[in-house]
Structure 1
């Protein structure tokens, strides 16, 4: 019952529109070139997430959800315009664990998300976007910017100035996102 009540509360807040404004600011972290290998940086962030119970198998009435990490080389081109051309890979963390802890902890900490993303981006020069996705729904992207920073993206809606829609596609300005 606690899970259902918590889920309904979170779904209510997620449904509220939060349009981006031109004066919104990003949370950012400097991306420093690292001596770590790309895989070591990813594994280090994954270990941090496991240790803090954001990346653990989670049992609920529908079964067990397992966390995962996936590299995608088409999401950036498919969903964004004006992205950093030299960094076209997207690393996706499918987080799992306690619903409240994920939303009230990790996914509510843009500084922590950008710090961890900066670590990976410093060791992985091909990665331009890191998505921290909740297993049930929603998530937060963190992108690489030409000034050498990793920034949490700002939520926008489809009717904003940060969206380009053609007959076949909808693309977002780099730095903005929509998550249902």
Structure 2
């Protein structure tokens, strides 16, 4: 009987996995399980033995979190993708768009939706969140830039906006229910 050697891989960003091949092999080096993202599509191929299965990533998966403070009654909802440095929220009735995390003090941040002009903010907070949100609802991709502490160089990101408009409307409904 052949022994199977298992390889464990840590969680890494989706962009780091873009064209990587991962394989589970037996002791003799024969592939038992492998996975490779096809660079020409948005699909991922999974090979088990000699069978290939194709799966489509859930690009529309936005994380929605709504809370109401038990003491003050303050309502808030936040919408983001877990791997991105971009979030949209409603706090006490005011909309916000936040880019990045751990900002270098007193630095500018920016978001650019598709081919629109960049919209600037301060330490991640957009000065015109309604304008950003309207562009995000119609857009395909959001490009972000901010400076992260302790380094003072640009951190650039990219967020697929698939499903944002629908999830944003769901966030508005959930906020009303709080």
* TM-score category of the 2 structures, normalised to the smaller one: under 0.3
Determine which structure has the larger strand proportion and give its number: 2
Determine which structure has the larger helix proportion and give its number: 1
Determine which structure has greater relative contact order: mean sequence separation of CA pairs < 8 Å that are 6+ residues apart, divided by chain length.
1
Q: Greater Rg, structure 1 or structure 2?
A: 2
TM-score by length of structure 1 reads 0.26
TM-score by length of structure 2 reads 0.27
